[in-house]
Structure 1
Amino acid sequence: MTSLLLATFNLMPDGEPGGEVLVPALAERGIDARWVQWDDEGVDWSGADLVAVRATWDYHRRLPDFLAWAQRVEAGSRLLNGAAAFAWNADKAYLLELAGAVATVPTVLLDDRSLVAGLSDALARWGSVVVKPRTGAGGNGVVVVESLRDERLEGLAAGPWVAQPLVTSVRTRGELSVYVFDGQAVSQVDKRPGGDEIRV
């Protein structure tokens, strides 16, 4: 039987909501899986055939630790997707790379030196601008502003950031996530925001 460790974090020791059905479903397919916290030093990652990152929702607050952990795990076991993919995906600057190959929302990178000028340019171009940390998860630190004098900028999370035009359909229709494996679309999730929210 293949052994699989499902990485999570301390606020979700049993995995993400619905995660309780994953372990029995995998067992039916001959996979012995269990949830473990990614930063638990007592876990023998090399003892597993596979390690899957599933619910490590504190990674953005502890990014250097998380990426170092991923490299250690990968050195001794098969880490699905791999440490390099996690490092690339953790910084939203990857959107600029993707823009050359697929349709993306226009994105501007901002740091402490370029924040005022860059945000001023973005506001002039787009009107309503979404500002979010370059490394973040779950919509934490995301603000929508329409002016440099917007009070929401006072509580802006630590940078660096990305700025993007507000895609108004996110508020009305939400967004669609499509899961592709081996070039085949296998599933989709329709994400709907609540009220005037943009986080889905």
Structure 2
Amino acid sequence: MKPIDIVILTDNRYTNPIERDAYIDNILLEDQLVQDALEAAGFIVKRLAWDDATFDWNLTKYALFRTTWDYFDRFDEFSIWLEKVSRETTLLNSAKMIYWNIDKHYLQDLAKKDVAIVPTYFMEKGDTRSLAEIHKELSWTETVVKPCVSGAARHTYKLNLTNIGEHENIYKELIMKEAMMLQPFMHQIVTKGEISLIVINGKYTHSILKKAKKGDFRVQDDFGGSVHEYQASKEEIEFAEKAVQACIELPIYARVDMIWDNKNKLAISELELIEPELWFRYNHDAATQLAKGIKEINS
């Protein structure tokens, strides 16, 4: 029997931060809410950085991804660690789910299961076409380009026919190293924002609305975006739960990011299954539901 039931995974910036601000306080609060809920459910819990070299991962039954927010900046290192640790303990969400969700080609799988996504065109690593050529082929005039493996809006650029040339060099560098994706710009991301619905064990728990700051289109707080409480409609809840059911297996937790597309229809922008912010501070019961879900799979 393993001495630790669950390790809550974070990154080393948040294990024992000396300097504190509202951003870090929220991270610590949310991780604590999860830890409290797990301990109330009877689990022995420890919180560690995913890259903690001193810890033997054979000592824990589960490793629960929460705030491992540096993994996409250290992807090669993270991939090696993930391969090793997945043989030593059970990951939540599972290793299979994580490998599927890391690369946004998963959007194609959702579309094949009749889940509406933002129209997406993939440029594979080594593609020699220019951005201008691709836009001409697709007849798209206003778009967003970004890597297929990314987070926190890394190398995410809004393009139009007048500024494509300014981004050709950085795109040429990126496409030689990694696959990229192109999507038509969805105007309501600016006017309405992006909603995130939290789904625990297949069931909706709560939602928030993310808005970009004036003059920007990126809703992430890294770029001045703001978060607002939001009451999801029945249609939005059913849409989110359907998207989660379309995954390769049912995730223990999921964040379904959706927008209203240019035809005013709901569409998935991203499905976050690895280390999404789940805003437990807006609904403490969601942490309890997460703990109950883990208890069920552990029984």
Q: Same fold (TM over 0.5)?
A: yes
Q: Is the counterpart of residue 58 in structure 1 residue 70 in structure 2?
A: yes
Amino acid paired to 1:107: T
- 1:91 and 1:57 mapped to 2: Cα distance? 16
Q: Is the counterpart of residue 130 in structure 1 residue 149 in structure 2?
A: no
- Output one character per residue of 1:10-29: Cα deviation in whole Å (capped at 9) or x when no partner: 22225835334433343333
Structure 2 equivalent of residue 105 of structure 1: 118
Of residues 169, 180, 186, the one that matches 1:167 is 186
Distance 1:152 1:11, change over 3 A: farther
1:77 positional shift = 1.4
Of residues 85, 91, 96, the one that matches 1:84 is 96
Distance 1:107 1:17, change over 3 A: farther
Q: Is the counterpart of residue 176 in structure 1 residue 189 in structure 2?
A: no
SS in 2 for 1:49: strand
1:130 positional shift = 0.2
- 1:154 and 1:17 mapped to 2: Cα distance? 39
1:171 positional shift = 1.1
Distance 1:119 1:60, change over 3 A: farther
Equivalent positions of 1:3-152 (< 5 A) are 3-13=5-15, 16=27, 18=29, 19-101=31-113, 102-111=115-124, 112-116=127-131, 117-122=133-138, 124-125=139-140, 127-147=141-161, 149-152=164-167
Moved more, 29-38 or 153-162: 153-162
Distance 1:35 1:182, change over 3 A: closer
Distance 1:34 1:172, change over 3 A: farther
Moved more, 136-145 or 109-118: 109-118
In terms of fraction of residues, the more helix-rich structure is 2
SS in 2 for 1:68: helix
Of residues 201, 211, 214, the one that matches 1:192 is 211
- Output one character per residue of 1:94-147: Cα deviation in whole Å (capped at 9) or x when no partner: 11221112000011111432443323334x23x210000111101111000002
CA contact (8 A) 2:8 2:35 kept: no
CA contact (8 A) 2:4 2:59 kept: no
Amino acid paired to 2:214: G
CA contact (8 A) 1:67 1:86 kept: no
Amino acid paired to 1:138: A
Amino acid paired to 2:92: L
- 2:128 and 2:110 mapped to 1: Cα distance? 25
Moved more, 21-30 or 158-167: 21-30
SS in 1 for 2:128: coil
Amino acid paired to 1:36: L
Amino acid paired to 1:113: T
Moved more, 12-21 or 107-116: 12-21
CA contact (8 A) 2:60 2:89 kept: yes
- Output one character per residue of 1:43-83: Cα deviation in whole Å (capped at 9) or x when no partner: 12121121111112222233233233223222121211222
- 1:34 and 1:184 mapped to 2: Cα distance? 27
Amino acid paired to 2:188: S
Q: Runs of 4 or more off by more than 6 Å in structure 1?
A: none
SS in 2 for 1:99: helix
Q: Is the counterpart of residue 158 in structure 1 residue 174 in structure 2?
A: yes
